Structure 1
Amino acid sequence: MTDVATLAGRLQQRAGEDLYDRIFVRDLILDCHIGVYEEEKGVTQKVGFSVEAAVAPDVASRHDQIAEVPSYDNLVEAVHATLAEGHINLVETMAEHIADQILDDKRIVWVRVRIDKLERGPGAVGVEIVRPRGAGRHSVL
């Protein structure tokens, strides 16, 4: 049986997650060099990207200036920079590279990257990852 204190802690944690402002880009469709199979090499495929990032609570635009806050443009730039690396075999690797670039901005608390390969079967297939600050190479010192 779960006690009241445990339930209250879970509710507080969930409420805290909702306090973050989020920036996002959804359904960005680009031609990519992606895939591990021979038939995927040397050709492009249509791939969909949806990226969401939570902004630290103390980050705000005090003077109505874009430089004061992370922008959805930063998310799009991270996708394009990853694609500029050339052919990537795995969508998981592509998602990690995008997440790493976004988490380079210390104002980002966590990032969610979803990649859909739109031409690889009946419907979309892909991967979605969520990476918090403090995981992997973005550990808090």
Structure 2
Amino acid sequence: MAAHPLTNAPNTAPQPTPARVIVTKVFVRGLKVDAWIGVYDHEHGRQQPLVIDVELDVAASHCEALGDTVNYETILQAAQAIAAEGHIDLVETFAERLAQASFADSRVTRARVRVEKPLALAPHAAAAGVEITAVRG
């Protein structure tokens, strides 16, 4: 019988059941992307910086290799692809498209996407934007 590691006494206590991971959260914070975005005339024809946070709930456990989970580089690639598609009027639209792109991986069950426009209310505010939560199904 193995000894208890702290007391060196025989370990007779029942062994705990190993924890089971039920959700893995994959996230990216502070992702910077330049996008053609905005509804006002002065926003058309020029890019503006966006700062994006994404949090994904992933049905994955016991991740030992990159293929076992969602690669967060796909979040960067999706945000860049959406920005490259052309002008978008609303940050809400950008956020929804990014959330939908996240569901391309069938293991993603929930996506929280926050999109900030740092220049929207400058110099009166650090940023303005939107945060959405989308669920699969």
- Normalising by structure 1, we get a TM-score of 0.75
Which structure 1 segments of 5+ residues have no match?
Answer: 1-17, 135-141
Q: In the superposition, relative to structure 1, how do residues 31 and 37 fare at CA in structure 2: closer, same or farther (>3 Å)?
A: same
SS, match of residue 71 in structure 1: coil
Q: Contact (CA 8 Å) 1:51, 1:111: kept in 2 or not?
A: yes
76-85 or 18-27, which moves further after superposition?
Answer: 18-27
Q: Which runs of 4+ in 1 moved over 6 A?
A: none
Q: 2:135 corresponds to which residue?
A: 132
Q: Contact (CA 8 Å) 2:33, 2:83: kept in 1 or not?
A: no
Match runs of 1:21-32 below 5 Å: 21-32=24-35
* Aligned amino acid, residue 23 of structure 1: V
Aligned with residue 43 of structure 2, among 33, 36, 40? 40
Identity %: 39
Q: Structure 2: how far apart are the matches of 1:97 and 1:55?
A: 18
Q: Contact (CA 8 Å) 1:53, 1:108: kept in 2 or not?
A: yes
Paired positions, count: 114
CA deviation after TM superposition for structure 1 residue 67, in Å: 2.1
Structure that is richer in helix per residue: 1
**1:87 matched to 2:87:** yes
Q: Structure 2: how far apart are the matches of 1:19 and 1:60?
A: 10
Q: 2:23 corresponds to which residue?
A: 20
* Aligned amino acid, residue 37 of structure 2: I
1:83-128 deviation digits (Å, cap 9, x = unpaired): 1111111111111110111012100010000000000112210000
Q: In the superposition, relative to structure 1, how do residues 83 and 60 fare at CA in structure 2: closer, same or farther (>3 Å)?
A: farther
- Normalising by structure 2, we get a TM-score of 0.77
Which structure 2 segments of 5+ residues have no match?
Answer: 1-20
Q: Contact (CA 8 Å) 1:25, 1:50: kept in 2 or not?
A: yes
Q: Structure 1: how far apart are the matches of 2:47 and 2:74?
A: 24
Q: 1:73 corresponds to which residue?
A: 73
